[in-house]
């Protein structure tokens, strides 16, 4: 059969273009990574062709002998790597994984309690307009004045609201999560505790972040962030979870199908199996430790340039910067940084006066650049470039009046495109990137 280049040169060229982009910039979106060639090979395999609704040995369609083997292999690898008795590898991504858990534990309008999105929680943890808020009753905790988890306030809120489910694990929280403290609160009010470790799963299996396995009843994770696999997700039940409710695996399976999904993506399952094998190696442990070392070094360098880091620093792979002292907004800074070859995202910061579309902050992470082999020495250069790029947009404050924002943005975008300083940083970034190949 003809290959992609012949069948569809347009798509082929776009893939080449994206390869080039990924090669020539610093990918610093905290939730992104470079999957290995082996993971990609499994993802692009003939498992794409198969339908296997159901679970191993209990399928609705024929021809699943091999699909069963791949799903069992992925499941067993995950059980061993995370140290949990039950794993479901079928959720198509992190958001459906969380919805599947809600569907298996909660009735319509039951209360679930998670960190507010405005403080670093994920949208699926009860965020406005999400399924989790439309079909259930979200209760939100916030961070304390020091921008750290405030367990006294969380406990008070849990006692007052008695949620059926408490969620910990976040999207933009740069500090260690004390799962034991969350468990003591959940146990006190009789709630299920779900740890959404999407961001930190790789750090956990490598032992550079504490694990929730002794404390949570259910764990959800994506497989494509620090775990460095294909886009996908898993749901795990711990021993503690089985003790609280031995039917949890059955409830989760029913919530997967027919509750939320149809057939699993077997090619994705195959690629997850590969990523789990990679994550069990000593090299992966070393890699994960370097992610944190790089983030800490980058944080300390940014502080030297008077950047205001939310919570004052980082313990994990990500850094959240409040740009208000730099008189810059998140959207302008993110665009300027992209033009300088540093790709990250605008992000709300605690007590942000701007909405999520504009924001007063940016979030950045080290998983992808660490995959390329960058170390502390490179972090010093990156901090300098970030400082220079943000300097270019200092004074870019978002108009207070909402109506004027789109006109402001149009003008800003036109102006910044031809900024010479940003173009010269981009050249230096490209030269550095050339020394660190992508997988
Ligand atoms: C904590 C957390 N949970 C869930 C998700 C959702 O994952 P997905 O984008 O795969 O749906 C994310 C995504 O960023 C996340 O940060």
Q: Which of 253, 279, 305 is the last residue of a domain?
A: 279
Measured CA to CA, the distance from residue 125 to residue 135 in angstroms comes to 12
Task: Report the CATH number at residue 57.
Answer: 3.40.640.10
Question: What pLDDT sits at residue 398?
Answer: 85
Instruction: Report which secondary-structure segment, H or E, holds 235.
Output: strand 233-237
- Residue closest to 425 by CA, chosen among 347, 309, 336: 336
Residues 85 and 224 reside in one and the same domain: yes
- Contact status, residue 359 vs residue 320, Cβ threshold 8 Å: no
Cα separation, 7 vs 86, in Å, equals: 43
Q: Are 258 and 402 within one domain? A: no
Taking 90 as the threshold, does the pLDDT of residue 399 lie above it? no
- Catalytic (active site) residue 225: yes
Distance from C-alpha of 314 to C-alpha of 280, rounded to nearest angstrom: 25
Answer yes or no: 51 catalytic.
yes
Asked which of 233-237, 368-372, 393-397, 421-425 is least confident by mean pLDDT, the reply is: 393-397
pLDDT digits (tens, 9 = 90+) for 87-106: 999 999 999 999 999 999 99
CATH code for the domain of 298: 3.90.1150.10
- Choose, from 71, 118, 155, 196, the residue flagged as catalytic: 196
The whole domain housing 321 covers 290-434
For residue 219, pLDDT beyond 90: yes
Same domain? For 115 and 172 the reply is yes
Give the three-state DSSP class for 272: helix
236: which strand partners? 87, 219
Output the CA 48–ligand 1 centroid distance in Å. 23
Kindly report, residue by residue over 296-351, the tens digit of the pLDDT.
999 999 999 999 999 999 999 999 999 999 999 999 999 999 999 999 999 999 99
pTM: 0.97
Task: Based on the fold, state whether residues 48 and 197 are members of the same structural domain.
Answer: yes
- Are 133 and 55 in a shared domain? yes
| Paired tokens of 35 | 């999957």
* pLDDT at res. 23: 97
Judge whether 222 counts as a catalytic residue.
yes
Q: What CA dihedral angle connects 355, 361, 367 and 369, to 10 degrees?
A: 120
Residues 232 and 314 in one domain: no
Could you tell me if 177 and 302 lie in one domain?
no
Q: Indicate the residue among 279, 306, 339 that finishes a domain.
A: 279
Return the sign of the alpha-carbon dihedral for residues 363, 366, 372, 374: positive
Are residues 339 and 260 located together in one domain of the fold? no
Q: Is the peptide bond before 144 cis (omega within 30 degrees of 0)?
A: no
314 and 402 together in one domain:
yes
- Please state the rounded mean pLDDT for residues 26-53: 98
Q: Is 253 a catalytic residue?
A: no
- Distances in whole angstroms, Cα of residue 426 to Cα of each of 130, 396, 411: 37, 21, 22
In a domain, residue 127? The reply is yes
Mutate to test the pocket of ligand 1, among 98, 117, 122 (most ligand atoms within 8 A of CB): 122
Residue 255 confidence (pLDDT): 98
Q: 100 lies in a domain?
A: yes
At which of 230, 258, 279 does a domain end? 279
How does pLDDT run across 253-290, given as a tens digit for each residue? 999 999 999 999 999 999 999 999 999 999 999 999 99
Instruction: Give the rounded percent of residues in the chain with a pLDDT score beyond 90.
Output: 96
7 lies in some domain: no
pLDDT at res. 1: 67
Q: What whole-number percentage of the chain has pLDDT above 70?
A: 100
Task: Kindly indicate the confidence band of residue 403, based on its pLDDT and cuts at 50, 70 and 90.
Answer: confident
Residue 198 CA to ligand 1 center (angstroms) comes to 6
pLDDT tens column, 10-32: 999 999 999 999 999 999 999 99
376-392 and 282-304 are packed helices; what angle lies between their axes, rounded to 10 degrees? Answer: 40
How close is the Cα of 122 to the center of ligand 1, in Å? Answer: 7
423 and 297 part of one domain: yes
In a shared domain, residues 245 and 312: no
Q: What is the mean pLDDT of the chain?
A: 97
Q: Is 367 a domain residue? A: yes
State which ligand 1 atom lies nearest to the alpha carbon of 93: 10
Mean pLDDT of all residues in 414-422:
96
Binned at pLDDT 50, 70 and 90, residue 238 comes out as very high
Annotated catalytic, 231? Answer: yes
Closest of 323, 218, 226, 219 to residue 279, by C-alpha = 226
């Amino acid at each position: 059969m003809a290959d992609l280049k012949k069948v569809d040169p347009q798509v082929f060229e776009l893939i080449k273009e994206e390869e080039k982009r990924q090669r020539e910039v610093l990918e610093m979106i905290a939730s992104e990574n470079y999957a290995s060639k082996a993971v990609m090979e499994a993802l692009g395999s003939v498992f794409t062709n198969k339908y296997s609704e159901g679970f191993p040995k209990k399928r609705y369609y024929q021809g699943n002998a091999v699909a069963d083997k791949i799903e069992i292999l992925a499941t067993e690898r995950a059980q061993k790597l995370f140290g949990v008795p039950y794993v479901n590898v079928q959720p198509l991504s992190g958001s459906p994984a969380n919805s599947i858990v809600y569907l298996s534990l909660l009735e319509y309008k039951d209360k679930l309690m998670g960190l507010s999105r405005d403080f670093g929680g994920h949208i699926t943890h009860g965020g406005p307009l999400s399924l989790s808020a439309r079909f259930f009753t979200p209760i939100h905790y916030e961070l304390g004045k020091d921008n750290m988890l405030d367990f006294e306030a969380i406990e008070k809120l849990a006692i007052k609201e008695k949620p059926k489910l408490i969620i910990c694990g976040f999207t933009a929280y740069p500090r260690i999560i004390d799962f034991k403290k969350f468990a003591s609160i959940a146990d006190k009010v009789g709630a299920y505790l779900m740890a959404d470790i999407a961001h930190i799963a790789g750090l956990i299996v490598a032992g550079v972040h504490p694990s929730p396995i002794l404390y949570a009843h259910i764990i959800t994770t994506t497989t494509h962030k620090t775990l460095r696999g294909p886009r996908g997700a898993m749901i795990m039940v711990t021993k503690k979870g089985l003790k609280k409710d031995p039917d949890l695996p059955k409830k989760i399976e029913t919530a997967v199908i027919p509750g939320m999904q149809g057939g699993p993506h077997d090619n994705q399952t195959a690629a997850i199996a590969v990523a789990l094998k990679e994550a069990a190696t000593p090299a992966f442990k070393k890699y994960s430790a370097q992610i944190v070392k790089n983030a800490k070094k980058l944080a300390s360098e940014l502080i030297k340039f008077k950047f205001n880091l939310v919570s004052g620093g980082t313990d994990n792979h990500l850094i959240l910067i409040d740009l208000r002292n730099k008189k810059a907004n998140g959207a302008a800074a993110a665009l300027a940084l992209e033009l300088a070859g540093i790709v990250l995202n605008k992000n709300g910061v605690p007590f942000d006066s701007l909405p999520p579309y504009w924001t007063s902050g940016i979030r950045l992470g080290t998983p992808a650049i660490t995959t390329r082999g960058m170390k502390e020495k490179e972090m010093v250069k990156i901090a300098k470039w970030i400082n220079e790029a943000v300097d270019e947009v200092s004074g870019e404050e978002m108009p207070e009046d909402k109506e004027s924002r789109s006109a402001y943005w149009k003008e800003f975008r036109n102006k910044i495109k031809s900024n010479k300083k940003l173009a010269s940083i981009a050249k230096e970034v490209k030269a550095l990137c050339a020394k660190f190949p992508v997988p």
